Amino acid sequence: MIVIDWGTSNFRAFLVDTASGDVLDSRRSASGLRALSQSEFPHYCASQTDDWREGGRVPIYLAGMVGSARGWHEAPQLELPVTAADLANNVVAAPGLDNVWIVPGVKQVMPEHVDVMRGEEVQAFGALALAGTDSGDCCLPGTHSKWARLDAGRMVEFTTVMTGELYHAVRFHTLPGEPARDESPFDEAAFRLGISRAGRPGGVMHALFEARSRHLYAGLEAGQVGSFLSGVLIGEEVRAMREARPGLDTVRLIGAASLRESYTIALDSAGIRIEAIDSDRATLAGVAAIAARHGQR
């Protein structure tokens, strides 16, 4: 089978040997939703996978924002609680190409909690399958970080925290972010200082402004400002989610290696134990579980 994780800014395709789970080939590009108009999806998908498909006999499963209203075709989000079987039972055929299936996202719509997710639900189910368990808390850092709770094979709750996107907005579009416009290497001391400011008097919007006052008067160098801001925001994310989930002691941290590094420091500082899983492996395991159920229908 072919597994495609197709998000707002990235396209990642994997040719997988279903029997062994091995990845036989893979392709990546920056042709996410932002780069394509709606009519281009089938053509782009075919151009990237035709030589893998044996005339269309190899099925394709798509996960991520590709299933949103502004993607290839909408796969309506399922309301929690949701199992991997529910996702399999609600895959939607992608128009324009044969044997191409879109995995739906999930949502929570309650007066006190409204939230949406597309793609990370597959990774959360995959991470738990890889660990041989059906319950646990998952942290999926990113543009919009997701914290998902699974219990006995069902996703029962999740919360989105817009850490990555806010980091970008602050760095490139505010005065405190000005010294960090240029890329600098990760500075662990500045990152840890940022973490230590989360939850202090004045809250996160004051802590972000400290990037400016500490740059002016407390020795925070221009090259450290980006890491400080990142520490403030990731520190606030972890602080808020720890407060929201009393008793949380272990999370499965699902992400690319670069993001896992900073989240590992922040989670560790908060006394939360981590079981780290690469996001590609989680995607592949999650789609494999869904595809196996879908194939049996």
Q: What is the CA radius of gyration of the chain?
A: 20
Q: According to CB under 8 A, which one of 28, 43, 181, 206 is a site residue for its own copies?
A: 206
| Least distance (Å) between residue 119 CB and its own copies | 14
189 near its own copies, rule: CB under 8 A: no
| Spatial distance between the Cα atoms of 211 and 223, rounded to a whole number of angstroms | 11
Q: Which amino acid is at 284?
A: L
Tokens of 72: 């290839």
| CB of 3 or CB of 75, closer to its own copies | 75
| CB of 22 or CB of 243, closer to its own copies | 243
Site size for its own copies, by CB under 8 A? 48
| Least distance (Å) between residue 37 CB and its own copies | 17
| CB of 93 or CB of 109, closer to its own copies | 109
204 near its own copies, rule: CB under 8 A: yes
Task: Tell me if 121 sits within 8 A of 150, measured CB to CB.
Answer: no
Burial class of 234 by CB neighbour count within 10 A (0 to 12, 13 to 18, 19+): buried
Q: According to CB under 8 A, which one of 236, 252, 285, 290 is a site residue for its own copies?
A: 236
Q: According to CB under 8 A, which one of 205, 247, 271, 296 is a site residue for its own copies?
A: 205
Q: Which amino acid is at 64?
A: G
Q: Which amino acid is at 2?
A: I
Q: According to CB under 8 A, which one of 46, 83, 107, 156 is a site residue for its own copies?
A: 107
Q: According to CB under 8 A, which one of 118, 239, 252, 294 is a site residue for its own copies?
A: 239
67 near its own copies, rule: CB under 8 A: no
Q: Is the peptide bond before 81 cis (omega within 30 degrees of 0)?
A: yes
Task: Tell me if 269 sits within 8 A of 195, measured CB to CB.
Answer: yes
Q: Which amino acid is at 84?
A: A
Cα–Cα separations (whole angstroms), residue 120 to 173, 204, 215: 28, 26, 36
Site string for its own copies, 114-153 (x = CB under 8 A): xxx---------------------------x---------
| Least distance (Å) between residue 99 CB and its own copies | 29
Cα–Cα separations (whole angstroms), residue 201 to 174, 175, 197, 205, 240: 21, 21, 9, 10, 14
202 near its own copies, rule: CB under 8 A: yes
Q: What interhelical angle do 188-197 and 257-269 show, nearest 10?
A: 50
| CB of 170 or CB of 288, closer to its own copies | 170
Of the candidates 237, 168, 281, 81, which has an alpha carbon nearest to the alpha carbon of residue 251? 237
| Least distance (Å) between residue 101 CB and its own copies | 23
The residues of the shown chain that bind its own copies, judged by CB under 8 A, are 8, 107, 109, 112-116, 144, 159-163, 165-166, 168-170, 172-176, 200-206, 208-210, 212-214, 216-218, 233, 236-237, 239-241, 243-244
